[in-house]
Amino acid sequence: MITVTIDGIQVSVEPGTTIMQAAEKIGIFIPHYCYHQALSIVGSCRLCLVTVEGSPKEVVACGTPCTDKMIVYTQSERVKRSREIVLEFLLLNHPLDCPVCDKAGECLLQDYSFAYGTPHSRFKEPKRVPPFKNLGPNIKLATTRCILCTRCVRFMNEIANDAQLAVINRGSQNEIDVAETGTLDHPLAGNVVDICPVGALLDKNFIHRTRVWHLSHTSSVCAECGSGCNVRIDSYKNEIFRIAPRFNEEVNSYWMCDTGRYAYKKYAVVNRLTNPLCKINGALKPVDWNTALQMAADGIKKYSEKQGACAGLITLGASNEDTFLVKYFLETVSRSNVAYGLYQLTTEEDIQFESGFFINNSDKYPNLNGVSFVLDFFEPDFYAKILISRIESGEVSVVYCLHTDLLEIPQKVLDALKKVPLLIVEDITESPLAQIATIVLPGRIHYEKTGTFINCEGQVQRFLQAVQGPKDSKTTLDIMKQLSERLDYRIPWQSSAEVFVELAKRYSELSECTYYTLGDAGKPIF
């Protein structure tokens, strides 16, 4: 270890640690643009200049390794003047368009100009005005705002392993542009918008939709595959406006794929169920909740006299808590112990990038591990010959299906379920499954409730409710509680957090876990 003194504070660091990293360790912030923890160091923006005793001029903090007994100053008059000059240079051609820029409110150029810059520019000549560019289906480049930090270029080279972006031309004519491919269409392309420190790279799905200071930010988990990337959901007035990656070194680092980034759009265009439906005279008719739940309770009473007559079918987009609630309901209320997950094998190949980022195409289910863990049941043919055979033999008369996602149901499962006398489906839309149901109960997607998933690496992770569901939809917990009351039983838990505590009591792998101890990063359990 070596000792470095930064602004009078001593810190011990490993040899090779940069001044920037040493300063971060003791909570001293050094402004920067081109530096990013996960990318190579280029030291091109020069904003992180600091003074080192014995050095004839300032050095870049991001690229200068510490030496033993080094003394560094980050707030000297020389450093302050250097920052003013750098910011003035970066703003020579930058337009004063903050009022119409979508980055306003989270723009580092805007923030640093106020914190470290000068109030007036000495540049009186006409500004260079290169055109806006459409880089790809989702990304637009406002070239006038670009400060050529090259974060986006380095990301495509080093993380995405596909050099689709490059700096073209020379000198004052430098610009970012798409290289040989002609379009930025990589499955990780959306990350360049996240790491752009100014308003140069724009997401076409977000441009001019709302101001960032209106947004509420919710920690969540992506539900598009088994990787379980940590994400931040940005919403306003009960509408999701964008999804961005949330740092978790154990899962997805700083990144996410575009499939997960734009997943909210597919839920926005489906026709959500707005009220319960019951089959009356052979056709599904809208009814109120009381009628639907009472019909379901009466049907369960009729058939549950025979042990095992009630079964559950759960798609692998269900949370651990919802899976447990259905299982508990079947075991305790309807005296059945049968619940099945719904799994289909896929032939798609995973994508493993040299940087370590992983797109899990072979497991498109966000909670395969969680559902199988809670149900204590797994086999390759998970959607299962067993349930189908029990239905066809007449042993099963009631099936409660939890399908609060858009995962497809195999046709042979649908064919078997058509033979069930009482098919209760908790769904979000009139899916093929809902269309064959006896009773349909409007549920909520994972953006609209709180719960946990267990990803493909065995990491249990918490997601929080970002938006409210449709007015007449209910969570699985609410449905199970109200249905149980009509069967003269009371489910004791009031929230998903309490359900998770119960899970922790029943499964040793989750012992001593709570939503609080899981935090935003989660915990590996196997």
CB contact at 8 A, 53 and 35: no
Q: Which pLDDT value is given to residue 345?
A: 63
Question: If you count them, how many residues does the chain have?
Answer: 526
CATH of domain 2-90: 3.10.20.740
Give one DSSP letter per residue of 360-401, joined into a string: -TT---TTHHHHHHHHT---SSTT-HHHHHHHHTT---EEEE
Characterize the bridge pairing of strands 338-342 and 310-315: parallel
Neighbours of 220 (CB within 10 A): 23
Q: Which fold has domain 98-214?
A: Alpha-Beta Plaits (3.30.70)
Per-residue pLDDT tens for 443-492?
999 999 999 999 999 999 999 999 999 999 999 999 999 999 999 999 99
Say how far apart CA 265 and CA 276 lie, in whole Å. Answer: 24
Phi, psi of 422 (to 5 degrees): -130, 105
The contacts of residue 214 (CB under 8 Å, 6+ apart) are 236
Span 307-524 CATH architecture: 3-Layer(aba) Sandwich (3.40)
The domain locations on the chain are 2-90, 98-214, 307-524
Q: Is the pLDDT of residue 308 over 90?
A: no
Per-residue pLDDT tens for 326-348?
999 988 877 765 666 666 667 68
Tokens read off for 286: 């809208």
Say how far apart CA 306 and CA 301 lie, in whole Å. Answer: 10
Say how far apart CA 200 and CA 191 lie, in whole Å. Answer: 13
Q: Which pLDDT value is given to residue 260?
A: 96
CB contact at 8 A, 290 and 486: no
Say how far apart CA 202 and CA 385 lie, in whole Å. Answer: 49
Return mean pLDDT, the chain.
92
Domain 98-214 shares a fold with domain 307-524:
no
The whole-model pTM stands at 0.92
Per-residue pLDDT tens for 351-407?
888 888 989 988 888 998 999 899 886 555 555 677 888 888 888 899 999 999 998
Confidence bin at 171 (pLDDT 50/70/90): confident
> Which of the residue ranges 28-32, 303-307, 343-347, 357-361 would you say has the lowest mean pLDDT?
343-347
Confidence bin at 411 (pLDDT 50/70/90): confident
Angle at 255 between CA 250 and CA 260, to 5 degrees: 105
